Amino acid sequence: MIFNILITDDNLIHQISVKYCIEDFNYNPLVAFNGQEAINILKSKPVDMIILDLQMPVMDGFEFLNWLKDHEEYSSIPVIVYSGMTDIDTVQEVLKYNVYGYYFKPITQIDQLLFSNAIKAALNYRRVNLELAQANKIIDNFINKKKEQA
């Protein structure tokens, strides 16, 4: 399975850093430089996970998280925040959005391993959710056919 990972960050160097952390995964990187570009990508392509910066022009990460919260159809997509904002109040605020993780920039060598493992876990979570949704559709179709036959 090839995963579409949406990297949302206005800094090209940080985008490359994230790509380096996930180079061993079977993935297709999608890149947005702000929250509005990320929304446009979400509306046009399937996305399996989002790696999100908080400080961006046009639409920042907080605005994007609020938008995501208001759009149920994207609620099963795991989000990992990767930000230079290291104060505890910001971290606590972001965690209220049920993000899959919060990592600080720049990523250290030790953090890289933890970050990669969090991404792997988030992608497994997404894969299982997609498989469950597909199984539920099959069950619903079977039940509906049985009802029609009765």
Mean pLDDT of the chain: 85
In Å, how far from its chain's centre is CA 91? 17
Name residues whose C-beta falls within 8 Å of residue 40's C-beta, 6 or more positions apart in sequence.
Answer: 32
Q: What was the pLDDT predicted at 146?
A: 78
Q: What is the pLDDT of residues 74-124, one digit of tens each?
A: 888 999 998 888 888 988 888 888 888 888 887 777 777 777 778 888 888
Contact predicate 50/77, CB 8 Å:
yes
pLDDT over threshold 80, residue 39:
yes
pTM above 0.85, yes or no: no
pLDDT (average), residues 3-22: 81
Strand, coil or helix: 82: strand
Question: Is the pLDDT confidence value at 33 over 80?
Answer: yes
Q: What percentage of the chain exceeds 70 in pLDDT?
A: 99
Rounded distance, CA 91 to CA 103, Å?
9
What pLDDT does residue 32 have?
92
